[in-house]
Structure 1
Amino acid sequence: MHISSPSIPRGGRFRKQFRRALPVYFACALLLLLYTQIDHFERFRQTPGEVLKRILAYQQPVSRENNTRFPRKIWQTWKMDPLDFEERESSRARSWPQLNPGHRYEVLTDSNDMAYVETHFGPGGVLDRPDILETYRTLNTTIIKADLLRYLIMYAEGGVYADIDVENLRAVETWIPPQFQESDVDLIVSVEIDEPAFVNHTILGQKSQSFCQWTFMAKPKHPVMLRLIDHVLHWLNEVAQKQAVPISHIELNFDEVITGTGPSAFTGAILAEMAVQTHRRLYWDTFHALTAPVLVGNILVLTVDAFAAGQGHSNSLTHDSPNALVRHHYHASLWPSRHPRFSHPAYGMVEECNWEPVCVQNWTDNTAAFGSLSFDEKVRLISEKEKIDADRYSEEQAEDERLAQEEKERLAAELKAQCEQASYVHIEQLEAKAPSPVIDPQTLPNIQAAAAAIQAQLDLATQPQGQPQTQLEAAPSTPQK
């Protein structure tokens, strides 16, 4: 049998076929390059097909077939179950189901978050991503875990996300202005910080223009959420490599959290997706001093008052503004204490200026000139700062104690009212059933003494700390019948 070799085109025919095939060759080469370079975790290297799927995921809009409406779901995350909430968290959380009875309300906690991630990002989930599971399981940095979890939830199921210290002011059904169709909107965000004058400031620059991340609304599988998820994983891997430690042992300052997973990362992913959808690069000028909502692609940007009213900067109004949809109380925002900001020993943190231009300029000038001062002058300024900090701490402690005492008194009064109401109802029920007196006159002194003892205990519980406690009188020793 003679096997002949296929003829090889020559001359112009070969060049023409090569030119036709060149885009295919280029795409294959690019895919191979991406496969060798995109590798967040060596142990989870992906096939070229998986890499291609992830690349295409950014280019595909949210399916309109099943996502014409936002899911009627409200999500919050916290360290404990809602049944164990303190009154402070409970009162904020109640606002969501109260104003949105048609929405499902769910809180993910430290005891069930891992199971949620495994369900939705393991085999059979919305994405089969072992790198996500391993990273989330390994993470020990609470705020990074909280940021990543909100992006995972919104990608998997969508709905409204709100921090646990965010109070709902207006029903979610009213969040989309009437000039927009819900079917045209896939992500709703609000301006948070709009201070472009500080864009070149060494510390404030990267935080001066951002969207609010403590509340937002999304439809499932929005590309912004996938961008954020992949960005966080890649960034964590880079930080761990730079610090030469496992991801579980990385250490981060305040600004690293902001840029890695917080508002700066959130804003960057949104602007990147806007550029993809509009085929042009967008600048913050589009959202500076925003007076009315604007729709960019399928992303609706609300004014600063929507989610970030009452800040004292960025032209935000009070929470009485008709545009204010939520109120952030900040009592759950304790993570900066674990990830400190830069604080000058004599002038403190520039963030304490709250974006006030004169204050920021004075801080910048003073810190720049500090090195040229005499040793004695430096010591004097540092001592003054330490005294100011000590006085402020004492004032904050006193305020915390006052609020705690008010809460204690409120709870005691509430308990007393409930007990009295229950007693009245019970007595009325007994009187309705029995025409004769219910209480034996001979036992009345004992009942009165018990009531007096309970009242004394309530008075004692509500007595401010530091005051002498009154001695309870002994109940009369009348024999009970």
Structure 2
Amino acid sequence: MLTFRKALIVAAVFVTLILFLRSSHPSSESAVAASPETVAYEISQETKEKAPNQNAESTQQQPMKEPPPPPTAPLRERLHYHFPYDLEAKFPAYIWQTWKYTPASVWFSQDLRQPEASWTEMNPSFVHQVVPDDTLHHLIKYLYGSIPDVLEAFNSLPIPVLKADFFRYLILLARGGVYSDIDTTALKPVVDWLPDSVDLSTIGFVVGIEADPDRPDWHDWYSRRIQFCQWTIQSKPGHPILLDIVTYITEETLRMKKAGILKKGKMDKTIVEFTGPAAWTDAVFRYFNDPEYFHVEPGTTRNITWEDFTNQIEYQKVGDVMVLPITSFSPGVQQMGAQGIDDPMAFVKHDFEGTWKTDPSL
């Protein structure tokens, strides 16, 4: 006799059997739990099927990068392509110096140890690199291997001081940051060189006045009436001033090499006019008077002259360039209006060791 309890048990067994059969034979609408291999295969197939359309859409939405200029293009154009200038970018936290040996060498001069160390002490968050002479070639080859004429010019320079001059422009053009001679001492952190009120997205270059000789015989002592400092420079990569000086030195080097006069004692330019402060000052003024970057009055050939900087005692912003007074990078020289090393505007002390003048290769 079928009691209620037995009937309940039979019903439970029947329901269980139905559920089991459904799970063992799923219909087309049932959800199937796939193995990892199956999922991977299906995703792979789906990706392959959709990839062409996705790539096409990506190509349409993102503009393609312009191809590099041909090797026959003007040097300035090729340099600009490889080292573009971004005014709104941050100043890179690099400090570059160069010397015959690294500070780790026993041959590194004891007189230079404290000046060199001051840069790391004042700027602990910066990458501070002293590049020795035997490494210069390899670094420049790495940075400028795609621009062979620059590499040829650097390797062809017959005197180490010329390479040291050229190096500062090359490293700043490619990497940016601060370059400072090995015989300089940091008096203030780099981040304190510019006032907080200045929008750094509008500044791409910082240069100081080296000399402002207000005397009739100034040309007996200096090459230019206002001379800009090249022993300490700060820049964002790709700045037009650096592009200009690198182009100038490269072309002049290869010109003298072709003429057979790129040799010690035979060059038709002095070091100062070839790679030093005279050439550097001219490059800065060329930028200030370039109608591509500055407004130049019709009928005139110069927009800014030395008169705009003589007797300067404060900051002066010219376009995207901040010009510092003579005190900033030449404090304590006791002439031309320079104040002492304790002045608020004193940032870098130059010891004027003139190490390049004692180079035996000169």
Fold in common (TM above 0.5)? yes
Match of 2:331 among 294, 309, 319: 309
In the alignment, does 2:295 pair up with 1:279? yes
TM-score normalised per structure 2: 0.71
1:52-201 to 2 correspondences below 5 Å: 54=77, 57=80, 62-64=85-87, 67-84=88-105, 85-122=108-145, 128-198=146-216, 201=219
SS in 2 for 1:300: strand
Q: Are the structure 2 counterparts of residues 90 and 200 from structure 1 closer, same or farther at C-alpha, using a change threshold of 3 Å?
A: closer
Distance in 2 between residues matched to 1:199 and 1:297, nearest whole Å: 32
Shift of 1:234: 2.0
- Report which of the two structures shows the higher radius of gyration computed on alpha carbons: 2
The gaps in structure 2 that reach 5 residues or longer are 1-69, 297-302
> Which residue type is aligned with residue 229 of structure 1?
V
- State the superposition RMSD in angstroms: 2.8
Shift of 1:165: 0.5
Deviation string for 1:331-383 (max 9, x for gaps)? 3x232346999xxxxxxxxxxxxxxxxxxxxxxxxxxxxxxxxxxxxxxxxxx
SS in 2 for 1:231: helix
> Which residue type is aligned with residue 185 of structure 2?
E
Distance in 1 between residues matched to 2:255 and 2:188, nearest whole Å: 41
Q: 2:26 maps to which residue?
A: none
Distance in 2 between residues matched to 1:305 and 1:82, nearest whole Å: 28
> Does structure 1 conserve the Cα–Cα contact (< 8 Å) formed by 2:84 and 2:237?
no
> Does structure 2 conserve the Cα–Cα contact (< 8 Å) formed by 1:253 and 1:339?
no
> Does structure 1 conserve the Cα–Cα contact (< 8 Å) formed by 2:96 and 2:129?
yes
Shift of 1:107: 1.1
Q: 2:44 maps to which residue?
A: none
Deviation string for 1:242-281 (max 9, x for gaps)? 6x33x3x242799811111111111111111122222222
SS in 2 for 1:83: coil
Distance in 2 between residues matched to 1:251 and 1:117, nearest whole Å: 26
Distance in 1 between residues matched to 2:187 and 2:336, nearest whole Å: 20
The gaps in structure 1 that reach 5 residues or longer are 1-44, 123-127, 342-481
Q: Are the structure 2 counterparts of residues 72 and 235 from structure 1 closer, same or farther at C-alpha, using a change threshold of 3 Å?
A: same
> Which residue type is aligned with residue 273 of structure 1?
Y
SS in 1 for 2:133: coil
Q: Are the structure 2 counterparts of residues 214 and 56 from structure 1 closer, same or farther at C-alpha, using a change threshold of 3 Å?
A: closer
Distance in 2 between residues matched to 1:232 and 1:52, nearest whole Å: 11
Higher helix share: 1
Distance in 1 between residues matched to 2:254 and 2:201, nearest whole Å: 37
Shift of 1:158: 0.4
In the alignment, does 2:317 pair up with 1:295? yes
Q: 2:231 maps to which residue?
A: 214
Q: Are the structure 2 counterparts of residues 299 and 99 from structure 1 closer, same or farther at C-alpha, using a change threshold of 3 Å?
A: same
Q: Which one has more relative contact order, counting CA pairs under 8 Å at least 6 apart? A: 2
Shift of 1:240: 4.2
Q: 1:263 maps to which residue?
A: 277
1:13-24 to 2 correspondences below 5 Å: none
> Does structure 2 conserve the Cα–Cα contact (< 8 Å) formed by 1:73 and 1:160?
yes
> Does structure 1 conserve the Cα–Cα contact (< 8 Å) formed by 2:179 and 2:233?
yes
Q: Are the structure 2 counterparts of residues 196 and 254 from structure 1 closer, same or farther at C-alpha, using a change threshold of 3 Å?
A: farther
Q: 1:225 maps to which residue?
A: 242
SS in 1 for 2:114: helix
> Does structure 1 conserve the Cα–Cα contact (< 8 Å) formed by 2:212 and 2:227?
yes
> Does structure 2 conserve the Cα–Cα contact (< 8 Å) formed by 1:192 and 1:314?
no
Match of 1:329 among 351, 354, 362: 351
Shift of 1:239: 3.8
Sequence identity percentage: 29
Q: 2:14 maps to which residue?
A: none
Q: 1:371 maps to which residue?
A: none
> Does structure 1 conserve the Cα–Cα contact (< 8 Å) formed by 2:79 and 2:243?
no
TM-score normalised per structure 1: 0.54
Q: Are the structure 2 counterparts of residues 298 and 110 from structure 1 closer, same or farther at C-alpha, using a change threshold of 3 Å?
A: same
